[in-house]
Chain A
Amino acid sequence: GAVVSQHPSWVICKSGTSVKIECRSLDFQATTMFWYRQFPKQSLMLMATSNEGSKATYEQGVEKDKFLINHASLTLSTLTVTSAHPEDSSFYICSARAPGDRVYGYTFGSGTRLTVV
């Protein structure tokens, strides 16, 4: 089946630095990808919709200057957490609609665990 790959799967960074997370659709093109964050023992919260070739659409309360999203190609979306702080530590997950997916169902990546120290 279709695969959405995330890289890295785990990253530790120092407070104040920036971290880039990649989301790739393997063997299919995705004009739209979605970014979620998940705190331990909590649900997934939609952060933004990444649109190929145009600006991302952010959910209310998500700082677009803090979480930079770039969707420069049909197979790659990146999320950059700028000037990361310990409260940004979370599990970040992307998803994309793969060919054959249900009408509105999406395939999820395996997630990136970010720890800011």
Chain B
Amino acid sequence: GESVGLHLPTLSVQEGDNSIINCAYSNSASDYFIWYKQESGKGPQFIIDIRSNMDKRQGQRVTVLLNKTVKHLSLQIAATQPGDSAVYFCAEKYTGNQFYFGTGTSLTVIP
């Protein structure tokens, strides 16, 4: 399938600052996106989702932005905490019920 990639493989932020993690997707037929968080040695955990008919969705401390014009997805984490340190993946759905994952960004929060 087409690839979903991330601009930055690693990101370090100071505790309390906001984090922005980016994702580029290439399949214009993708209609649903999810951001997942994965801690070392564990399975991914759902963070937030967004449908292709939306351009913004907010959750608790997290916001996902979707720009279909440039096929770009971002995850914003407000007031980043040490517990936010993990690898973040975006995943897209463009066929059936399967999800295809992006490369991943490793977020490190500096106390």
Q: Which residues of A contact B (CB under 8 A)?
A: 4, 6, 32, 34, 36, 41-46, 49, 59, 93, 95, 97, 101-111, 113
- How far does the Cβ of A10 sit from chain B's closest Cβ, in whole Å? 9
Q: Which of B89, B98, B100 has the most CB of A within 10 A?
A: B98
Contact A43 B32 (CB under 8 A): no
18 A-B pairs with C-beta separation under 8 A? A6-B43, A34-B98, A42-B104, A43-B101, A43-B103, A43-B104, A44-B89, A46-B98, A49-B98, A93-B43, A93-B44, A95-B43, A101-B46, A102-B46, A105-B34, A105-B49, A110-B42, A111-B42
- B residues 79-111 in Cβ contact with A at 8 Å: 89, 93, 96-104
Task: Output the residue of A41, A104, A107, A109 with the most chain B CB within 10 A.
Answer: A104
**Hey, which chain B residues are within 8 Å of A42, CB to CB?**
103-104
10 smallest CB-CB distances across A and B, nearest first, come from: A108-B43, A44-B101, A43-B101, A108-B44, A111-B43, A93-B43, A110-B43, A43-B104, A105-B46, A43-B103
Question: Measured between C-beta atoms, what is the minimum distance from A98 to chain B in Å?
Answer: 10
Measured in the bound complex, the distance between the Cα atoms of B32 and A30 in whole Å is: 21
CB nearest neighbor in B for A32: B97
